[in-house]
Amino acid sequence: MPGLDARLPEGDPLTAWDRRRADYRLVSPANRRKFTVIVVGTGLAGAGAAAALGELGYRVECFTFHDAPRRAHSVAAHGGINAARARKVDGDSIARFVVDTVKGGDFRGREADVVRLATESVRVIDHLQAIGTPFAREYGGQLATRSFGGVQVSRTYYSRGQTGQQLQIAAAQALLRQVERGSVRLHTRTEMLDLIVADNRAQGIVTRNLVTGEITAHPAHAVVLATGGYGSVYFHSTLAMNSNATATWRAHRRGALFASPSFVQFHPTALPVSSHWQSKTTLMSESLRNDGRIWVPSTAGDDRPPNDIPESERDYYLERRYPAYGNLTPRDIASRAARTEIEAGRGVGPLQNSVYLDFRDAIERLGRDTIASRYGNLFEMYYDATGEDPYTVPMRIAPGAHFTMGGLWSDYDQMTTIDGLFVGGEAGSNYHGANRLGANSLLSACVDGWFTLPFSVPNYLAGVGASTELIAPDAPEVTEAIAAVRNRADTLLANNGTRRPATFHRELGEILYRGCGVSRSDTGLRTARDEVRALREEFWADVKVAGAADRLNQELEKAGRVADFLELAELMIDDALDRTESCGAHFRAEYATDEGEARRNDEQWANVSAWETTPEGQHIRHLESLRFDLVPLQVRDYR
């Protein structure tokens, strides 16, 4: 089978993006309004793409299942956004950014795309500042930066602990500006449930109006999916309740390849699950690891209160195992180390599923006030969620499913394997390889939305031609897609089962955490695959969806999303089974060094697995081989 072609620019990688932009075809201003572009999602990538394309003069139809564009889950990112502006004399540069990101991703991301990420990062900050983000400033008035895990320079721009919110609000208001100008039509509470593919081109989507239940086909010349990641497949995750994979999964079932589905980042500083009804594992910012020390009791099953455990009986395992980086090792390593301790029975808390993050020494050294000024809001949030005071009792943290590096496969121009179907942000897959660096996700969403898709979508449209009509409402592909959506809803509602969709979701999450979580093994994955298949069968046999289709029905929404998760989960497991190496967040117990560190296999696996699912549900793997011109392959070593 021939490898996938990502259509990378030839020649010097550092200037490749400039050359590609110069090569892109253009659409004349008068012709732009003849093109309709659909953007699904209003997060940083979606709002950015919709606003920018609207500004350029294209007819943009933008969709979100939320009540308002501002709610998209980009809003929840805390720490910051990286940019290789390299203003300080700390040795940062575009090339350094590329090294950090490619290496951080354990050489499973696409270097050329990372160069674009780094290049455009400079003006992302300018633009987001200009549209209203109040970035933190030094007293001299310049932008302030902080440093983040996995890098040795200070290139993270931030707005307190709510950078994602501030960027998201700025992006949403830029989008609303275009709505008011009439260049973007925004459809809120409207969920994409299928993709219309005709003549091998993406030509529109099918949506359900979540308030009236109306199912509608929206034709377009190009479709952009910016619908976020699928981490909520794990049920307990740092994602929002409504985050889902339906848009990308439906596109996948229509032919778009899905890359690296098993690459999931587990955030080491999430709140542990402490009770059955706890609905999520809230993320505590990674910055806490700057001053907090992570430890577990040295002996398994030690259930004394943390402050009663003497220093000599505490194991600061990160400091012990990784003396160079200590508590600041990258996320995948910190999560894996925590999982190892928990599995060895040294976990703490009522369910023995967490580790301590202790500020005692930092408070002694710096004083309570300093710690309060650095982390006050996080401590408050922790207290709020758990009822425990982190100033006096160590925090409890545990790895939680957080970010999905995998997503729809796209070429260098962000176009998937379906012509005219583009992808942006976490829904895509090209930058972060097998592990994402902190503060790179906001960046990748912004670069895609504001500074990649507005170039590459027009390039595609220029090829389509301004005289190409939108697909007719009675075209067979349209009626078929509408019927498929309607059938699915009817089937779900008519099913004479007993269990709520959410109960299947919870069970699926447990299977995945167990079998396809922080650490994976052949037998574990095989068991998980059987369990997922059985659960999927049970779902279709026994799901009970209350209510009707013609009004707001959250049970129906949930059921559709869980049904897709049940298919996606199997693909994730197949990918994890297939990739017989350990890399980044994907850790296979069989492929480890004697010290228990990940062992990559570059000869066989220096490539991206992009999966096809046949209509019968068979998974077929395609490969895109990866090239590293700027960053020589090397072993990540944080010891």
CA-nearest of 390, 343, 387 to 371 is: 390
How many residues sit in the footprint of another protein (CB under 8 A)?
86
User: For the packed helices 441-451 and 163-181, what is the interaxial angle rounded to 10 degrees?
Assistant: 20
Q: Which residue has the tokens 């940083």?
A: 44
Shortest distance, position 122 Cβ to another protein, whole Å: 9
Tell me whether residue 52 or residue 197 sits nearer to another protein (CB atom): 52
Contact (Cβ atoms closer than 8 angstroms) between residue 229 and residue 243: yes
Q: Tokens for 99?
A: 């090294």
Tell me whether residue 130 or residue 633 sits nearer to another protein (CB atom): 130
CA-nearest of 155, 151, 45, 44 to 102 is: 151
Interaction between residue 69 and another protein (CB under 8 A): yes
Tell me whether residue 241 or residue 633 sits nearer to another protein (CB atom): 241
Those residues whose C-beta lies under 8 Å from the C-beta of residue 625, and which sit 6 or more positions away, are 3, 606, 607
Shortest distance, position 190 Cβ to another protein, whole Å: 7
Q: Which of 315, 542, 555, 567 binds another protein (CB under 8 A)?
A: 555
Interaction between residue 415 and another protein (CB under 8 A): no
- H/E stretch holding 308: none
Shortest distance, position 440 Cβ to another protein, whole Å: 19
- Provide the phi-psi class of 41: left if phi over 0, else alpha when psi is between -120 and 50, else beta: left
Tell me whether residue 247 or residue 598 sits nearer to another protein (CB atom): 247
CA-nearest of 50, 91, 148 to 422 is: 50
**What is the 8-class DSSP label of residue 328?**
G
Shortest distance, position 78 Cβ to another protein, whole Å: 9
Q: Which residues 87-116 are close enough to bind another protein by CB under 8 A?
A: 87
Q: Which of 2, 139, 469, 614 binds another protein (CB under 8 A)?
A: 139
**What is the 8-class DSSP label of residue 356?**
E
Shortest distance, position 442 Cβ to another protein, whole Å: 14
Tell me whether residue 43 or residue 330 sits nearer to another protein (CB atom): 43
Q: Which of 73, 208, 536, 636 binds another protein (CB under 8 A)?
A: 73
Q: Tokens for 599?
A: 């062992």
Annotate each residue in 515-554 with x if it binds another protein (CB under 8 A) or - if it does not, as one string.
Answer: -----------------------------x-xx---xxxx
Shortest distance, position 261 Cβ to another protein, whole Å: 24
- H/E stretch holding 40: strand 36-40
Q: Is 534 exposed, middle or buried (0-12, 13-18, 19+ CB in 10 A)?
A: exposed
Q: Tell me the C-alpha distance between 424 and 17, whole Å.
A: 17
C-alpha count within 13 angstroms, C-beta hemisphere, residue 69: 32
Q: Which residues 566-595 are close enough to bind another protein by CB under 8 A?
A: none
Q: Which of 12, 18, 90, 126 binds another protein (CB under 8 A)?
A: 126
Q: Which residues 448-487 are close enough to bind another protein by CB under 8 A?
A: 450-451, 454
With contacts defined by CB under 8 A, name the span among 27-35, 165-173, 355-363, 522-530 that binds another protein. 165-173
With contacts defined by CB under 8 A, name the span among 31-39, 61-69, 326-334, 422-430 that binds another protein. 61-69
Contact (Cβ atoms closer than 8 angstroms) between residue 270 and residue 284: yes
**What is the 8-class DSSP label of residue 387?**
S
Q: Which residues 178-207 are close enough to bind another protein by CB under 8 A?
A: 179-180, 182, 185-190
Q: Which of 384, 474, 594, 595 binds another protein (CB under 8 A)?
A: 384
Q: Which of 16, 37, 44, 51 binds another protein (CB under 8 A)?
A: 51
Tell me whether residue 31 or residue 282 sits nearer to another protein (CB atom): 282
Contact (Cβ atoms closer than 8 angstroms) between residue 508 and residue 235: yes
Tell me whether residue 227 or residue 582 sits nearer to another protein (CB atom): 227
Tell me whether residue 256 or residue 445 sits nearer to another protein (CB atom): 445
- N-term to C-term CA, the chain: 40
Interaction between residue 561 and another protein (CB under 8 A): no
Tell me whether residue 120 or residue 291 sits nearer to another protein (CB atom): 120
Q: Which residues 271-310 are close enough to bind another protein by CB under 8 A?
A: 274-275, 277-280, 282-283
Contact (Cβ atoms closer than 8 angstroms) between residue 110 and residue 194: no
Interaction between residue 343 and another protein (CB under 8 A): no
Q: Which residues 15-34 are close enough to bind another protein by CB under 8 A?
A: none
Contact (Cβ atoms closer than 8 angstroms) between residue 612 and residue 603: no
What is the pairing mode between strands 258-259 and 407-408?
Answer: antiparallel
DSSP string covering 612-634, please?
Answer: EE-TT--EEEEEEE---SSS---
